[in-house]
Amino acid sequence: MNKNNKLLSTALIAALASGAAFGAQAAEDQGFYAGAGAGQSLVDEGSYDDEDTAFSVFGGYQFNRYFGLEGGYADLGSLESDGVGRDLEASSAYLTAVGTLPFTEKFSGYAKAGFQRWDLDTGVPAVTGTGDDSGTDPTYGVGLQYRFNDNVALRGEYSRFEIEDADLDLAQLQVRFDF
């Protein structure tokens, strides 16, 4: 396990432990949620400097108002090479711990970190280093959320998906539905 994965694993365990501690004092605001998002994927690595429309779907469980777990799928679009490499299509399935900081009753910020299983439709040795077209790496992000009512919220999120030594970024608007 490399240094980044060890650091991320330690941070994830710490987030889970702190989420359990918050659960004892904040039992409200818990339950399942699901949503979808659309935005822009961005890459600026090696011969790749491109952006494309990206989509995501996600779901999770909010243990309390401060902590949740979220899983999802992001279609990061088609990214074109500036020269030497081949075009590629990227996607990711992920699981993250989400820490939330409420600013007001309706407005909050959040950060998330976890692991993802990425897939490139075209293996690109210059980007992945090995020529593999899939792998597991860290993902993390930050966002702001505005809650319209108890069931619907709008989120703005910026996430990074590490793919070996390359970074794909995703900026998007999401709608979240709580059950």
Q: Is 119 left (phi over 0), alpha (psi -120 to 50) or beta?
A: beta
> What pLDDT, on the 0 to 100 scale, is given for residue 2?
56
pLDDT band at 6 (very low <50, low <70, confident <90, very high): low
Burial label for 168, CB within 10 Å (0-12, 13-18, 19+), is: buried
| pTM to 2 decimal places | 0.75
Q: What is the pLDDT of residues 19-72, one digit of tens each?
A: 444 443 443 578 999 999 999 988 876 656 667 899 999 999 999 999 999 999
Average pLDDT, the chain: 81
Nearest residue to 7 via CA among 15, 107, 118 = 15
